[in-house]
Amino acid sequence: MDIFIQQLVNGVVLGSIYALVALGYTMVYGILGLINFAHGDLVMVGALSALALLKVCLAVGLGLPASLALATLGAVLLCGGLGVLIERVAYRPLRSAPKLAPLITAIGVSILIEYGAAMIWSKQYLALPPVIQSTTWQLAGAAITDLQVAIVVMASVLMAGLLWLIRATPLGVAMRATEQNAEVAGLMGIDTHRVIAITFLIGSGLAALAGIMVLLYYGVAHYFMGFMLGLKAFTAAVLGGIGSVPGAMLGGLLLGLIESLGAGYVGELTGGVFGSNYRDVFAFIVLILVLVLRPAGLLGTASGERA
């Protein structure tokens, strides 16, 4: 029972991170109908740049809270800028191209970012300096750190903010209008190019924050960490119903729980044939199952069979 609660806690933390990344996929997919393969890599850029900034700030002699704030700000700005740049340079010229072209471009962007990062930050696993002391609380037999609580709270605040932005602000109205029909939105006086750029900015900023959470949680960052994370976050977006913002949040949380519990119990259930080294397989099984059983996702609208 203790293990169950512990895995539940881990799953919620993991799920909040997945949800933040999944939001970026789902927002871009909602508006452009494009799987932005580079999105996972923005998480990696966020983590690695925040780590580099943090090291610099600490070396200069700033205190930990100030360093952390500066590193976060720097990483979010860098990733946001990078996201807008990618949209402007790689995706916008292909708006009217056949469907295959932006998909191939997206994988090209992803590879370029990954190996660009490998060049800048090397291919080593880079460890977070041991500056963050976390307190551990015992709760119902499970150990919970303050860092875990902070991640879940931060992610919840960010997601609530995003929902408010989309539901209650003029920008949110413009975003939803562009998602429904970009041409008509343009006729209504909405600068759709600007709305799309802002969507990329927000998504990339959230990716950077998720990257920082991963960095703080696991204590390491790596140039290839965005690949699997991106794949799982995309699965979360599909599970919740791609294009749906609340769906991405729900999907992320569920996927985090499935993976955590799955990895925790697969050894017992299969009598040791499969161990936790298969944890990355769960997301994939979920993806296939969702596509077979409910392609629209949990909160998705009309079942989508689009040519």
Partner 1 sequence: MNLPQRIAQWWVHGQTWPGASWTRRLLVVVALALLPFLLEAVAGRAWVRIADIALIYAMLAVGLNLVVGFAGLLDLGYVAFFAVGAYAYGLLASPQFGIHASFLLLLPLGAIAAACFGVLLGAPTLKLRGDYLAIVTLGFGEIIRIFLNNLNQPVNITNGPQGVTLIDPLLLGSFSFGKPHSMLGVTVAPVHAYFYLLVCMVALSMLVARRLQNSRIGRAWAAIREDETAARAMGIDTRNLKLLAFALGATFGGVAGGLFAAVQGFVSPESFTLQESVMILCMVVLGGMGHVAGVVLGAIVLTALPEALRVVGPLQKAAFGHVWIDPADLRMMLFGLALIVMMRWRPAGMWPAPGWARRTPSAVGSKPQVAARGRDDAP
Q: Identify the H or E element spanning 139.
A: strand 136-139
Q: Which parts of 156-215 interact with partner 1 (CB under 8 A)?
A: 178-183, 192
| Own/partner long-range contacts of 287-290 (Cβ < 8 Å, ≥24 apart) | 287/234, 287/235, 287/238, 287/239, 290/235, 290/238, 290/239
Please, what is the minimum distance in Å from the beta carbon of residue 22 to partner 1? 13
104 binds partner 1 per the rule CB under 8 A:
yes
Greatest Cα pair distance, the chain, in angstroms, is 62
73 binds partner 1 per the rule CB under 8 A:
no
Can you tell me the distance from the alpha carbon of 209 to that of 21, in angstroms, rounded to the nearest whole number? 9
Q: Which parts of 17-36 interact with partner 1 (CB under 8 A)?
A: 29, 31-35
114 binds partner 1 per the rule CB under 8 A:
yes
In one letter, which amino acid is 283?
A: A
307 binds partner 1 per the rule CB under 8 A:
yes
Burial class for 131, CB neighbours closer than 10 Å (0-12, 13-18, 19+) = exposed
Which of 62, 70, 84, 118 contacts partner 1 by CB under 8 A? 118
Please, what is the minimum distance in Å from the beta carbon of residue 77 to partner 1? 24
111 binds partner 1 per the rule CB under 8 A:
yes
Which of 5, 142, 295, 299 contacts partner 1 by CB under 8 A? 295
Please, what is the minimum distance in Å from the beta carbon of residue 250 to partner 1? 16
Residue written as token pair 């037999």: 141
Residues pairing with 144 in the sheet = 137
Which of 110, 148, 204, 260 contacts partner 1 by CB under 8 A? 110
107 binds partner 1 per the rule CB under 8 A:
yes
Residues pairing with 295 in the sheet = none
255 Cβ partners below 8 Å, 6+ apart? Answer: 15, 18, 232, 235, 236, 239, 283, 286
Q: Which parts of 262-291 interact with partner 1 (CB under 8 A)?
A: 272-273, 275, 277-278, 280-281, 283-284, 287-288, 291
Tokens of 192: 């759709």
Please, what is the minimum distance in Å from the beta carbon of residue 280 to partner 1? 6
Please, what is the minimum distance in Å from the beta carbon of residue 277 to partner 1? 5
